[in-house]
Structure 1
Amino acid sequence: MNPGFPFYIGYRYWRARKANAFASFITLFAVSGIFLGVAALIVVSSVMNGLEGQLKQRILGAVPQLTIYSEVPLVDWTEQASALKALPGVLGVTPSVSTQAMVQSAANIRAVQIYGVFPELAQELSSVAQHTYSGAFEQLKSGDYKVILGAELARQLKVAPGDTIRLLSGDGVVYSPLGPVPSQRKFLVSGIFEMGSQVDAGVAYIHYQDAKRLMRQPSDAIDQLRLYLVDPFSAPALAPKVQDVIAKQGVKATTSDWRDTYGHLFGAVKMEKNMMSLMLSLIVAVAAFNIVSALVMMVVDKTTDVAVLKTQGVTTPAVMGIFVVQGTLNAVLGLVLGLAVGILITLNLNGIMTTLGISILGVGQSLPVKLEFMQLFVIVIGTLLVTLLATLYPALRAANVQPATALRYE
């Protein structure tokens, strides 16, 4: 039998006007459900992708993505850095030091994470330098004791560039007859950075050697290396390779990555993204069940036709193919419309919201949107697979029609 025969008959049934008005309504409802589900899934997934990407840039661009802690100070850190740079996915390597501290101004006091950096390397690799007032990192010179604060932290402390603050570090505590005394020193605010995330309220940068002095450690000792990565999310997979490279250099070290401090935040975003996708996928699943209902009604309506076809030699697989084709065409129609509308809305989402006067993030701010083609592929394949499974029961029911029984009263 011609392999195109089931498709031809299924296509004819699909195009023909339905005698059963209720079956037509169910079919329309199923197509509309797939259309709305796919379109909503594309729009929401793209917004969640944009949010995740924006968090990656604004948070992981300001904090260490992967850090190596050596048990002893490195004699020649440039040798280890050269070996690490050869790893795929590594943008650069710089010495690093960090400490938790309290920052005090005349108006307030706040907890802060201090990062000691070499300004020339930080300007080349860190995205913070791109969100800092011009020349701020260049003013970080060893012995000048200058600091760059996050915008929100500066607002809470009520300070501006040129003001003086005091940093009190928990590292380097000395004990006196009056009890433990934290290491402290006055710093001049040389600049403000603004990443547009929570790091603006809890991070500050000072010169590497100034940080070592604040912690009462040798200023020329380097025992931490900070890696800048092409994709910060690759840090967990890259950590074992980094340890292998360091071990070959004869250095005993451990690693930590951004998950230690911000893993819970990105975990929550990922869970929310997955839950939203699951909820919207249920719309497609419900539409698929409506396709089952519509096809069952079609089978009942076309029982005589199926019986006649079987008496003329149409095989059972061919009969199944007729109704699988009919149900799949409904799904493809809804899928194509959903893809077209979903992509169109996604690419013009902020313009549409502006036209309608809707502002979710506030005046002047736009929703982050990132359309991923691999995600579109998964949506297409998933929708077709669910629909195909939904057509199997009605197709099996049609294939089991007995011609003698169906044509008894014809």
Structure 2
Amino acid sequence: MNPALSCFIGYRYWRARKSNAFASFITFFAVSGIFLGVAALIIVSSVMNGLEGQLKQRILGAVPQLTIHSEQAIAHWQQLAATLKTLPGVRGAAPSIATQAMVQSSDNISAVQLYGILPDADRQLSPVADHTFPEAYNALQSGSYKVLLGGELARRLNVSSGDKVRLLSGDGVVYSPLGPVPSQRTFEVAGVFEMGSQVDANVAYLHYADARRLMRKAPDAIQELRLFLDDPFAAPQLTPKVAQLLASEGLKVTVSDWRDNYGHLFAAVKMEKNMMSLMLSLIIAVAAFNIVSALVMMVVDKTADVAVLKTQGLGRADIMLVFVSQGSLNALLGLALGLLMGIVATEHINPLLSGVGINILGAGQLLPVIINPQQLLMIAIGTVIITLLATLYPALRAAAVQPANVLRYE
């Protein structure tokens, strides 16, 4: 077997002007199909990655990513936080408490997820502090009974900084002759935060001690720690490590993560991304079928040449490699053009859309884009595998040519 000779012959066939115009037409559409399929797959995948990353930042940055709950008070939470920070992927930890409540203004009432935090401990870790005024965040002090509302929630309640709202919590319910009475207290709106996601409509922050008082618990006891992660999607892998580390410290705790409340949302985004990738991959598969058609025509057109090559000593594997290399060159050309166009178009997608007057997310909002090199590699490998499989049938047909039958009347 002489692979170099076979590849050279395949290259000459690929470069030569084809006598069959229809075969050339099919080959052009095969290369164009791979080019368009790869480019579209890169653009759509990158935009979906950007949207997923934006959701991860705007939603998971504002809610607990990984929570440790202890039935007993944690005496030295600073030391425990320092220990947890040694785990790879953990940025830090801070006390936190969460409860579902109702928030009532003079105009409206709405359900809300309350988070009690220590602003000094959260400031360097939570992105919420970067999406509100510093004085509003700093106003969350113990005993001040001030609350920080999401922007959409504040608009729904028709309140602004300085207005009064009433918080009602079912965790501090007491029983009276008239029935159960929830814990409630009037709070002043310290300000609003805008994360640009659904948390703006159902999340509020207040000081940790005030939240404990609202729930009728000891204000100074620390029973929950909120962990901030480099990548919130790594929470499932970190959960057993955190539990094992705390068990070695002699603490009995339960560990939960963001999937309890927002797992369905990101599962839907992931499924949509996978389905879009599958649909666009079908374009590449259709182009691969065009390669099959073009190569079959080429085999029919070059039957006499194949017979001569066999009489010169080329074996079945050599003949197969001739047509496999020819089909692969078409695929590689389409793949290279698709990768180049996909990356360039993705990098400039917002100026291109603005130039034609298209605003997908609304006026003033740009499409988020994240190009994943690993994803590009997978697209390239998948395209090469599909096209290589497509060349096998025409190559087998060429290898089955019998020189005696073909050259009988030559």
TM-score by structure 2 length? 0.99
Q: Over residues 108-135 of structure 1, what are the superposed CA-to-partner deviations in whole Å (9 max), with x where a residue is unaligned? A: 0000000000011111110111111232
The DSSP-based 3-state class of the residue aligned with 1:63 is: coil
The residue correspondences of 1:188-207 to structure 2 (distance < 5 A) are: 188-207=188-207
The residue correspondences of 1:285-364 to structure 2 (distance < 5 A) are: 285-364=285-364
The answer to whether the Cα contact below 8 Å between 2:128 and 2:193 also exists between their aligned partners in 1 is yes
The DSSP-based 3-state class of the residue aligned with 1:250 is: coil
Q: Over residues 204-263 of structure 1, what are the superposed CA-to-partner deviations in whole Å (9 max), with x where a residue is unaligned? A: 000000000000001111111110000000000000000011111111011110000000
Q: Using the alignment, how far apart are the partners of 2:234 and 2:11 within structure 1?
A: 48
Tell me by how many angstroms 1:72 deviates. Answer: 1.3
The residue correspondences of 1:28-177 to structure 2 (distance < 5 A) are: 28-177=28-177
Q: Using the alignment, how far apart are the partners of 1:15 and 1:367 within structure 2?
A: 41
The answer to whether the Cα contact below 8 Å between 2:307 and 2:401 also exists between their aligned partners in 1 is yes
Q: Using the alignment, how far apart are the partners of 1:260 and 1:32 within structure 2?
A: 45
Q: Does 1:374 align with 2:383?
A: no
The answer to whether the Cα contact below 8 Å between 2:2 and 2:318 also exists between their aligned partners in 1 is no
Q: Using the alignment, how far apart are the partners of 2:316 and 2:140 within structure 1?
A: 80
Q: Using the alignment, how far apart are the partners of 1:123 and 1:148 within structure 2?
A: 14
User: What residue is the counterpart of 1:248 in the other structure?
Assistant: 248
The DSSP-based 3-state class of the residue aligned with 2:364 is: coil
Q: Does 1:225 align with 2:228?
A: no
Aligned pairs, number: 410
Q: Using the alignment, how far apart are the partners of 1:272 and 1:84 within structure 2?
A: 35
Corresponding letter in the other structure for 1:62:
A
Tell me by how many angstroms 1:2 deviates. Answer: 4.3
Q: Using the alignment, how far apart are the partners of 2:3 and 2:245 within structure 1?
A: 58
Tell me by how many angstroms 1:7 deviates. Answer: 1.1
Q: Using the alignment, how far apart are the partners of 2:140 and 2:69 within structure 1?
A: 24
The answer to whether the Cα contact below 8 Å between 2:145 and 2:186 also exists between their aligned partners in 1 is yes
Corresponding letter in the other structure for 2:322:
I
The DSSP-based 3-state class of the residue aligned with 1:362 is: coil
The answer to whether the Cα contact below 8 Å between 2:59 and 2:195 also exists between their aligned partners in 1 is yes
Corresponding letter in the other structure for 2:247:
A
Q: Using the alignment, how far apart are the partners of 1:409 and 1:298 within structure 2?
A: 21
The DSSP-based 3-state class of the residue aligned with 2:63 is: coil
- Runs of 4+ aligned residues of structure 1 deviating over 6 Å after TM superposition are none
The DSSP-based 3-state class of the residue aligned with 2:392 is: helix
Q: Using the alignment, how far apart are the partners of 2:409 and 2:264 within structure 1?
A: 69
User: What residue is the counterpart of 2:283 in the other structure?
Assistant: 283
Q: Over residues 116-165 of structure 1, what are the superposed CA-to-partner deviations in whole Å (9 max), with x where a residue is unaligned? A: 00011111110111111232111111000000000000000000001010
Tell me by how many angstroms 1:406 deviates. Answer: 1.0
Q: Using the alignment, how far apart are the partners of 2:280 and 2:333 within structure 1?
A: 18
User: What residue is the counterpart of 1:11 in the other structure?
Assistant: 11
The answer to whether the Cα contact below 8 Å between 2:3 and 2:321 also exists between their aligned partners in 1 is no
Stretches of structure 1 that go unaligned for 5 or more consecutive residues are: none
Query: Identity over aligned residues, as a percent?
Result: 69
Stretches of structure 2 that go unaligned for 5 or more consecutive residues are: none
Q: Over residues 67-93 of structure 1, what are the superposed CA-to-partner deviations in whole Å (9 max), with x where a residue is unaligned? A: 011121112222221211110111001
The DSSP-based 3-state class of the residue aligned with 2:124 is: helix
Tell me by how many angstroms 1:382 deviates. Answer: 0.5
TM-score by structure 1 length? 0.99
Corresponding letter in the other structure for 1:356:
V
The DSSP-based 3-state class of the residue aligned with 1:125 is: coil
Tell me by how many angstroms 1:45 deviates. Answer: 0.2
Q: Using the alignment, how far apart are the partners of 1:250 and 1:81 within structure 2?
A: 15
Corresponding letter in the other structure for 2:100:
Q
Tell me by how many angstroms 1:20 deviates. Answer: 1.1
Q: Using the alignment, how far apart are the partners of 2:290 and 2:129 within structure 1?
A: 55
